[in-house]
Amino acid sequence: MDEPGQIGRRVQRMRVERGLTQKQLAHPSYTSAYVSTLESGKVRPSETALRFLAARLGTSYEELATGRPAHLATELRLALTDAQRTLATGAADEAAVRYRRLLAEAEELGLAPEQAQARLGLGECALESGELPAAIGHFEEAERLLADEPLPLRARPVRGRAVAHLLAGELRYACY
């Protein structure tokens, strides 16, 4: 989620574009004073408030909270799935090209989960190509991106790094 000032400016811009007053936007759940405070960046809106305002403004919660249309992340996730299919067919070089492009796009959009997925894919491609130090680097970066996520989401990069160490003959690191 963006900073309160950015969200406030976004709400104000969208409200004005739609020809709504602060009172019209706020009704029936909030007050015009709340919308004014939010638009000035003095308060961080709750998820509930943002969802309400997004519905009133005819936009998505994600777009209001981050400034990115929701379809961009969805399209990126679909493209990551396509790259994974390419890798599964044994075309590691072609998949790596796709993953690099998708990683750059995810970085540009600031989408950490998608960056992690692209890094995981690049790590798998590097494993297939025998580029073990590169694979370890990609898996470590994916681990860093997923550091605050629950353990099941972090398991794939940990496993990838362990496999890369094992293939490199570093049994001690693989076990660790």
Q: Which domains does the chain have, with CATH numbers?
A: 4-66 (1.10.260.40), 70-175 (1.25.40.10)
* Residue closest to 84 by CA, chosen among 117, 111, 110, 131: 117
Residue 174: pLDDT band with limits 50, 70, 90 = confident
Residue with tokens 């995810």: 106
Residue 5: pLDDT band with limits 50, 70, 90 = very high
Residue 69 has pLDDT above 80, yes or no: no
- What the block records as the tokens of 92 is 């590691």
- What sign results for the dihedral spanned by CA atoms 105, 106, 110, 111? positive
Whole-number pLDDT of residue 62: 84
Amino acid at 84: Q
Contact yes or no for 116/142 (Cβ under 8 A): yes
Question: Per mean pLDDT, which range of 41-45, 70-74, 105-109, 170-174 is the poorest?
Answer: 70-74
pTM for the whole thing?
A: 0.67
Bond before 152 cis per omega within 30 degrees: no
Residue 70 has pLDDT above 80, yes or no: no
**Crossing angle of the two packed helices 4-17 and 32-39, in degrees rounded to 10:** 120
Render pLDDT for 20-64 as a digit per residue (tens, 0 to 9): 999 999 999 999 999 999 999 999 999 999 999 999 999 988 889
* Residue closest to 9 by CA, chosen among 90, 77, 76, 64: 64
Render pLDDT for 77-126 as a digit per residue (tens, 0 to 9): 999 999 999 999 999 999 999 999 999 999 988 888 999 999 999 999 99
Q: Is 170 exposed, middle or buried (0-12, 13-18, 19+ CB in 10 A)?
A: middle
